[in-house]
Amino acid sequence: MAIDRYSYPFTAIVGQDKMKLALVLNAINPSIGGVLIRGEKGTGKSTAVRALARLLPDQRVVEGCHFGCHPDDPEDWCFECRQRAESGPLPSTVRRMRVVELPINASEDRVVGTIDLEAALKEGSRRFEPGVLAEANRNILYVDEVNLLDDHIVDVLLDAAAMGINTVEREGVSVSHPSRFILVGTMNPEEGELRPQLLDRFGLCVDVEGIRDLDQRVSIVEKRARWESDPNGFYQQHAESEQDVRSHIAEGIATFPEVDLPREILKLVAQISIALEVDGHRSDLVCARAAQAKAAYDEAEEVKVTHVSEVAEMVFAHRVHSVPFGKGGPNLGEVIARMVGQQ
């Protein structure tokens, strides 16, 4: 599902800087693994994700490919592109990275893809009809209220997210195709928790709250009103700042692989993970990538301690074990501050 062209400008969103940063970092380096936005109703979670769509970079894709394969990346091609390539070079085209929505009531066959009804009934042939996971390849996959997603859909999502491949062995079709996406989810924790396995798949996590500052609240209402009465004019007013963020993202994409990741920084990251007693090693990898993306966004040549401290909370917020009824357990902010302070 495409997002409305006239979505609210990203840079017109008041406050919620962490949420915005998390989204931008993922746009720069998709292998950060997406972001989970937790928070109360009406805090601009969905607005921000939709707004991000307009700031995303253009990408080259194989023309007519269901999966948006990259023309220069034969190893990652889908089965169709492989076949087409045998009879000559693939035509390519440029498109903007998109936000693909996964509605929580989506059925499994629509998510993973299914047998093509028409072809089956007309010719009795089993053709594969791609689903949301195909569309999401090389795009953002957005799940509103991700904690309410049916369990079996979550399983499928996890599988695809882990491998970057969607393997379908059902309804008579046997197909696997690339499905690498940036997973962006929102949830209201009051309505139930997220399975830890899925939680861990989100590279970053930010908690958003309603803004308590009176002036800011007023400004939110005013901006909203202006946007609703004249979306075009409102957008024009923000065109410059939007362009600024867009070009920073584009530059970040180009430069982040070259940003130096000193060993001391990696060590710091590891120490934070150890102090916070998180499971596994994904946190280390995500933190390094996020800090690198942040450095690239800031046009730095090397990852500094400040870059780590700016992203650490987002990396660890959802990975620290919560202690029921206890005050004990490591305190996120404290541990990060202490670790960073030692540097």
Partner 1 sequence: MSTTLDRHSYPFTAIVGQDSMKLALILNAIVPAIGGVLIRGEKGTGKSTAVRALARLLPEHQVVEGCHYGCDPADVDNLCADCRLRLAEHGVLPVHTRRMRVVELPINASEDRVVGTIDIESALRSGARRFEPGVLADANRNILYVDEVNLLDDHLVDVLLDAAAMGINLVEREGVSFAHPSRFILVGTMNPEEGELRPQLLDRFGLCVDVEGIRDPDQRVLIAERDADFKRGDHEFLNEFAAADHNLSRALAEAIGAVAGVKVTPGQTRLVSSICVEADVLGHRADVVIDRAMRALAAYRRHHTPTREDIYDAATLALAHRARQPLRREDDETGSPERADDQEGSRPSDSEASDPQPSQSESPAEASADQSASAADSGEQSAGSDQGMTTGGSSGHESSPDAAEIFNLRRIDLPRQRRVRKQGGKRAASQTPDRRGRYVRAEPKAKVNDLAIDATVRAAAPMQRDRGRLEGERLLLEREDLRQKVRERKVGNLIVFVVDASASMDAEQRMAATKGAILSLLQDAYVRRDRVAVVIFKNRTAEVVLRPTSSVSLARRRLEKLSVGGTTPLTHGLMAGYKVVKTELLRDPTIRPLLVLISDGRGNISMFKEEPLVEAQKVAGLIEAESIDCLVIDSARDYSHLPSVQHLARVAPMYQTYAINACADLAERMGARYYGLYDLSRDEIASAVERELGRSAR
Residues noted as catalytic:
282
Amino acid in the structure at residue 4? D
Residue with tokens 């999966």: 67
Between 136 and 194, name the residue whose CB sits nearer to partner 1.
194
17 binds partner 1 (CB under 8 A): no
Among residue numbers 183 through 202, which ones bind partner 1 (CB under 8 A)?
A: 189-197, 200
Between 229 and 341, name the residue whose CB sits nearer to partner 1.
341
Closest by alpha carbon to 129, among 117, 146, 145?
Answer: 117
269 binds partner 1 (CB under 8 A): yes
Residue 173's beta-bridge partner residues? 170
Lay out the site mask for partner 1 across 143-182 (x = CB under 8 A, - = otherwise).
-------xxx--xx-xx--xxxx-xxxxxxxxxx------
Among residue numbers 81 through 100, which ones bind partner 1 (CB under 8 A)?
A: none
Does residue 34 come out as left (phi exceeding 0), alpha (psi in the -120 to 50 range) or beta?
left
Between 230 and 279, name the residue whose CB sits nearer to partner 1.
279
340 binds partner 1 (CB under 8 A): no
266 binds partner 1 (CB under 8 A): yes
Tell me the H-state helices in 230-304. Answer: 231-255, 263-275, 282-297
Interacting residue with partner 1 among 57, 282, 304, 340 (CB under 8 A)? 282
Closest separation in Å from C-beta 205 to partner 1: 14
Closest by alpha carbon to 177, among 231, 116, 112, 115?
Answer: 112
Per the CB < 8 A criterion, the answer to whether 50 and 3 are in contact is: yes
Residue with tokens 């993922």: 26
- Residue 293 CA to residue 88 CA, distance in Å, equals 37
Interacting residue with partner 1 among 2, 41, 94, 121 (CB under 8 A)? 121
Choices 11-19, 47-55, 88-96, 277-285; region in contact with partner 1 by CB under 8 A: 277-285
Among residue numbers 99 through 118, which ones bind partner 1 (CB under 8 A)?
A: 105, 107-109, 112, 114-115, 117
Per the CB < 8 A criterion, the answer to whether 63 and 213 are in contact is: no
CA 327 from centre of chain:
32
122 binds partner 1 (CB under 8 A): yes
Q: Which residues contact 46 (CB under 8 A, 6 or more apart)?
A: 144, 186
Choices 95-103, 213-221, 233-241, 274-282; region in contact with partner 1 by CB under 8 A: 274-282
Closest separation in Å from C-beta 128 to partner 1: 10
Per the CB < 8 A criterion, the answer to whether 49 and 35 are in contact is: no
Choices 10-18, 86-94, 246-254, 262-270; region in contact with partner 1 by CB under 8 A: 262-270
Number of residues that bind partner 1 (CB under 8 A): 79
Closest separation in Å from C-beta 264 to partner 1: 9
The dihedral through the CA atoms of 209, 210, 213, 218 has a sign that is positive
Closest separation in Å from C-beta 98 to partner 1: 23
- Residue 343 CA to residue 265 CA, distance in Å, equals 9
